Structure 1
Amino acid sequence: MMFSSRIIQISLATIILSVSADRLNAEDPEFYQSHGTLFLWSSAPTVSGGPDLDEPLVTDRPDFTEAAVTVGKGVSQLEFGYTYTSNTDGSESVESHSFGEALLRYGILDDWLEFRIAVFPVQELTIFEGSSNSTAGHEDLYTGFKIALTPQAGFLPEMALIPQMNLPTGSRSFTADRVEPGLNWIYAWEVNDFISTAGSTQGNRRIDVTTGNAYLEMAQSWTVAYSLSEALGAYTEWFALIPSGADNVHTQHYFNGGFTWLLNKNMQFDIRAGVGLNRAADNYFLGTGLSIRFP
């Protein structure tokens, strides 16, 4: 399934044209009060959203789809974990360990805006025709901002936008050597107390490691989350990485699922596992992590 940057532009224009006129009317004395999101839906101007520190934290892990809600002004949230990935292609096999996966989210200016920064130390073991080679280092620094756009109002989704980029600060074996900007659009619905669903559409610049040429990588995902109890949650998800204009990179499809365990309202443990659905994808991955909110 292909999505172009033109589709993203048209969709964002529709969002802007659909927001509540109340938020655009500076004569309203409540105009400058935070509603948790940048905009309100014109058909439901009294419905607000955003973070709620009295409720359990909302995390961006362990699934591929980010959350559509921010952490809240002045709130820090640290999400970190470990992922093991295995892939075999003919006579070559690659095992990768991603340590830490530390993502720091911090709310700035208002409840609808957060700053994000992440670093991923990695170790990779490659075995080819009986010979092995191990490489360790860290990937390029990730940074960005999450903008909470709208709350959910019935069938109208809760949405967020993440302008993001990778900066070429990684180790020689893991850096792209160039800035990789991108945009991530997230949309989510809470169906009832048991089930919720969300999707994301991304467009990111990537560098072909074989030729050094830049290309556009689209990423599409859809996740379904289940509240099994007050503390235990689960999810299932599909996502795909879709290159456009790449020389030697092919579309990858994945399916994954996992569980979350709420230790308290500010701390959550997670586990996950996933498999590649086509030949270009990695064979499988396993991971675990912990998220902590500092109100």
Structure 2
Amino acid sequence: MSFRHLLTAVVAGTSLSACATMGTRDALVSDRPDFTEATVLVDKGHVQVESGSTFSREGDTRSTAFGEVLMRAGLASKVELRVAGNSFVRERAGDALTSGMQDASVGFKFKLAEGPESPSWKPALSVITHTTVPSGSRVYRTQRAQPEVKVLGAWTLSDRVSFSSNFNVARPYDGVRSFTEYAGSGSFGIAATGRVGLYAEAYAFAPQDGSKVVSKYVNSGFTFLFSPDVQLDVRGGVGPTTMAKRDYFAGVGLVVRR
């Protein structure tokens, strides 16, 4: 069985199981919908499945991603397994239409330090290590693994407001060579009610490929808890100007915890 087929089977089985056996535990914390990853890990012995769809425009290219599946499993109190099936992508640039599956990825999240629940300068700290696996459709498959390390921080500002930040170092492959790319983000989260959460963030990518181009984005959105273990999210944002047109994106998602 190929890695892609195995991944599909695992995620599908986990999704069905998660939907069937939801329970009440600690507050649900997801890594979507914002770019900034949360410091919180899934509890040991439990699974959380995050998925969604995003429409985006970059210059004259319009694309829709379906799936965005991330399966998170708690292996220990400070270790989380992460398996991302990513998405089926459909892109249109002028009259050209391209579609297929993106590469999957596997990795781990490690808890480094717990942050206080009361307002404090002391952050919660975690780190994510993961890599893509050449497993997608031919048009989207990279010939090399693309590893990345993310350092995650989170601060409690009040009983309703928090701030999170990531610093990422990746090694993308452009079809000719691998190069280093830095990324950073900052995100404010607000607990509007017991069910509704709001966020606003900014993030940027700085590839060290000689282009000296820094791509900057801002986005915001909200989450809604249907139950302690099921969450809906909606987001939208804008990016740099490409070919005299402002890039933008919008998406929806669902998180289910088991």
- Length-normalised TM-score, structure 1: 0.75
Q: Find the aligned partners of 2:112 and 2:83 in 1 and give their Cα distance.
A: 20
Residues 262-284 of structure 1: CA distance to partner in whole angstroms, max 9, x if unpaired?
A: 11111100000000145499700
Runs of 4+ more than 2 Å apart? 53-56, 247-250, 277-282
2:93 is aligned with 1:126: yes
Map of 1:268 onto structure 2: 231
Shift of 1:255: 0.2
Higher relative contact order (CA closer than 8 Å, sequence separation 6+): 2
Matches within 5 A, 1:1-295: 54-88=25-59, 93-108=60-75, 110-119=76-85, 120-127=87-94, 132-153=95-116, 154-209=120-175, 212-244=176-208, 246-247=209-210, 250-279=213-242, 283-294=247-258
Shift of 1:54: 2.9
| Uncovered stretches (5+) of structure 2, i.e. residues with no partner | 1-23
Shift of 1:248: 5.4
Q: Find the aligned partners of 2:98 and 2:57 in 1 and give their Cα distance.
A: 15
Shift of 1:230: 0.5
Q: After the TM superposition, which of the residue ranges 132-141 and 270-279 deviates more from structure 2?
A: 270-279
2:58 touches 2:242 (CA, 8 Å); kept in 1? no
- Please give the root-mean-square deviation of Cα atoms over the aligned residues, in Å: 1.7
| Uncovered stretches (5+) of structure 1, i.e. residues with no partner | 1-52
Percent of paired sites with the same residue: 33
Shift of 1:56: 2.2
What is the SS of the residue equivalent to 1:196? strand
Q: Find the aligned partners of 1:239 and 1:133 in 2 and give their Cα distance.
A: 30
Aligned partner letter, 2:197: G
Shift of 1:183: 0.4
1:253 touches 1:278 (CA, 8 Å); kept in 2? no
Aligned partner letter, 1:86: R
Q: Find the aligned partners of 1:239 and 1:105 in 2 and give their Cα distance.
A: 23
- Length-normalised TM-score, structure 2: 0.85
Q: Find the aligned partners of 1:238 and 1:278 in 2 and give their Cα distance.
A: 16
What is the SS of the residue equivalent to 1:214? coil
Residues 57-98 of structure 1: CA distance to partner in whole angstroms, max 9, x if unpaired?
A: 10000000011010011110000000001121xxxx101111
Q: Find the aligned partners of 2:135 and 2:124 in 1 and give their Cα distance.
A: 34
Change (3 A) 1:249 1:168: farther
Q: How many residues align?
A: 230
Structure showing the higher strand proportion among its residues: 2
